Structures are given as C-alpha cells and as structure tokens.
Amino acid sequence: MFTIAARQMGYRVHTFSPDSDTPTGQVADAEVTASYDDLDAVRAFAKGVDVVTFEFENVPAPTAAACAEYAPVRPGGDVLHTTQHRLREKTFLSNNGFPVTPFRVVQSVEDVQAASREIGPAGVIKTAAFGYDGKGQSKVTTLAEAEKAIAGDPNVERVFEALVDFDREVSIVAARGVDGSFAHWGVIDNDHRNHILDLSVAPSNLPTAVAKEAVDIARGVLDGLNVVGVLCVEFFYTKRGKLLVNELAPRPHNSGHLTIDACVTSQFEQQLRAVCGLRLGSTQYHRPAAMAQLLGDVWTGREPRWDRALAMPNVKLHLYGKHEAKPGRKMGHLTAMADTAEEAAKLVLAARGAI
C-alpha cells in the first residue's frame, strides 16, 4: 500500500526482505531478497536508494544502522531500537511523563511475586522483545498463573503489566515531517479479537477534551522520539475516563487503513511525504468510515464471495497479495463509508458477513 502510494506520485521503490514475491515486491520496481543479518547485502541495497523506511518494527537495529551509512533512515534506527522492545518503549514513555499502565520487569519467580505485591496479581505478562498481535503474551489473574507463565523459560526478559479495566481501545495515527510539522487523523476506535485488530471506526465519539489529550500525547511522543514518518499511538481509555498509552507502532498502522479511502491523504502517502521531505498532506475525512480486517479464517477452504461485499456501493476491498491464507493471518481488509461512523461500522461488518 505504501508502494502503490509512492508509484502514484512517480517514485520508484526498491524493497528488501528475506522473502521473495512479497506484497511489496509485487508492485515495487526492484525486489532484493536477502537476510536482514546480511549486512553486505543491506549496504548494497542502501547504496541504490535515496531514503530508507520500513513497514514493521522488527527489523534488527544493526540493519537500520547499516542502511544509515548510505541513505537517511526515516524513522531513524533509534526509533526502531526503542519501539521494538517493550521495556525500552515503556521506560521511554514513563520517563517522559506519558501515562502508561503500571508495569514491572520480570525474569524470575521472585520478580513475579514482587510485581504481584506491588501492582496486583491480575495482569498481562509479555515478552520484552519482538511481539505483536498477542504473540508472547499471557493474561493472568492469580499469582499461581503468573508464576506458571514464566516457568517454561525464566531467563526471557518480560514485562508484567497491570490489568486495565478499559472502556475501549483507541489509537492516534500521526505523522511528523523533517521540519517537525505534525498531522493526525483524529481518534480512531478499535475493537480487537484474540489480540488482533478486527474493526476500526472513525471519527470516534470520545469527549472532545479526551480526544485533544490523545492528540497532544501523540504529538509529544513523535517529538520526543524525533520521528520522521508515521507512528501510531495505541491507547486504553479506562472506565474512569483516563487515557493510558498501551503500545507504539513506528509505521503506518492497521487502524489507519481506512484513511486510504476516507481521507484526502492516506497514511501511506503521508509516510511517503514525510520521509521524502515533502509537506504533509491534508488529513481531512471525506466521510465517516470503518475498516474490518480480513483474516485467513475467512477463506475456510474456498474463495470468499467478494461479489457479495462489493454489491454494496460504499464498500471497498483491499487484498494484500499474500499467497497462503492461514488462520489469524491478515490477508486484507474492507472499508465502508457512510453518513455516520456507526452506520459505516454496521455496513462494513455486514459486507464481511456476506462473503
């Protein structure tokens, strides 16, 4: 989706990945297939481009550093280093005064026992490094469950987060330019299933003051990390009316996919504008919108009936070009637009149900 946006604006795109015939590679001008640890190949790749960006945060920091020897990396490798590790990310947030869920570092049974005494036994234990879509996470409600969660490998660095009694999950997808300029798409409401984003709806009906606070926090995060590009701040909105930062994603984010159809400038075009040093585009919405994720489960041994979804004129289909549908794998999404966010949500869910 980034490459399509870049090609529409006349840019040529080279992609680097351990895999071949990737969704990006299918539409890029050149696809380089090599390991992220092959730093000679990484350097050769970087010599052939004017600027480097990335589509997910689990690119090793040495890879970003090797690219930076020959081309600007935006967002920078230090942003990757912080956001790909939950402990570093939460420490950055906490040290800079951003509201976060109470957390403790745990590596042993003794650590878990201490954390349970300090912030309570109910929480989520997460591996500190390389986790997404619920991977490496265990929800616990008692000390015994917490001890069991780390018993298999007590040497792995983990974060114990207190369980949050939240009303909903929301996000701010925002961009920051080379000159420090800032743009955002407002608060987006998100619904998850099995730790995977299922539905996003915009605009949110959060109270105006809370929405402004979310935007202010997001701007502070992007400024604090010196981000050039798009970054998503994911929040819990608690039942007591408080925002807590849950996670950061230093890239275009699933909850911002609806901007492709619903906004003057999509998150992908904005990423392009930011990393190439252009002025940021308008984030104005044409209409309220909702996005429903299409996981591999939708296929169930047959090709889904796309014609049924597309019989609805205000529904758009986006498939990612992945070759094999697997349960839980993000294969595409549907976007619907309507006069209200609630109507858009109903429409996109009806479209997904029809396929």
Per-residue pLDDT, averaged over 62-90, amounts to: 95
Quote the number of domains for the chain: 3
Per-residue pLDDT, averaged over 344-353, amounts to: 98
Cα separation, 276 vs 265, in Å, equals 15
- Same domain? 125 vs 216: no
Full residue range of the structural domain in which residue 30 is found: 2-73
In a domain, 155, yes or no: yes
In a domain, 16, yes or no: yes
- Same domain? 145 vs 225: no
Q: Residue 57's pLDDT band (boundaries 50, 70, 90)?
A: confident
Q: What is the pLDDT of residues 214-247, one digit of tens each?
A: 999 999 999 999 999 999 999 999 999 999 999 9
Q: Cα–Cα distances in Å, from 9 out to 136, 218, 270, 272, 280? A: 39, 28, 12, 9, 14
- Same domain? 143 vs 283: no
Residue where one domain finishes, among candidates 73, 90, 124: 73
- Same domain? 271 vs 338: yes
The CATH number linked to 259 is 3.30.470.20
Tell whether the model's pLDDT for residue 29 goes beyond 60. yes
Cα separation, 14 vs 28, in Å, equals 6
In a domain, 197, yes or no: yes
In a domain, 266, yes or no: yes
Tell me, what's the pLDDT at 154?
A: 67
- Same domain? 117 vs 150: yes
In a domain, 55, yes or no: yes
Which tokens in the block code for residue 66? 């090797």
Q: 118: burial class by Cβ within 10 Å (0-12, 13-18, 19+)?
A: exposed
Tell me, yes or no, if the pTM score tops 0.85.
Answer: yes
Q: What is the pLDDT of residues 297-316, one digit of tens each?
A: 999 888 999 999 999 999 99
50-59, 138-147, 232-241, 320-329: least confident range: 138-147
In a domain, 90, yes or no: no
Tell whether the model's pLDDT for residue 167 goes beyond 70. yes
- Same domain? 29 vs 151: no
Eight-class DSSP state of 52: B
Name, in order, each residue with C-beta under 8 angstroms of 213's C-beta and a sequence gap of 6 or more.
Answer: 243
- Same domain? 279 vs 296: yes
- Same domain? 184 vs 233: yes
Cα separation, 288 vs 40, in Å, equals 47
- Same domain? 180 vs 205: yes
Residue where one domain finishes, among candidates 131, 146, 162: 162
- Same domain? 154 vs 172: no
The CATH number linked to 131 is 3.30.1490.20
In a domain, 82, yes or no: no
In a domain, 78, yes or no: no
Q: Residue 141's pLDDT band (boundaries 50, 70, 90)?
A: confident
- Same domain? 141 vs 34: no
> Buried b / exposed e across 244-262, counting CB within 10 Å, b at 16+?
bbbbbbbbbbbbbbbbbbb
Q: What is the pLDDT of residues 116-129, one digit of tens each?
A: 999 998 999 988 87
The CATH number linked to 35 is 3.40.50.20
- Same domain? 12 vs 135: no
Three-state DSSP class for 106? strand
Which tokens in the block code for residue 244? 């807590």
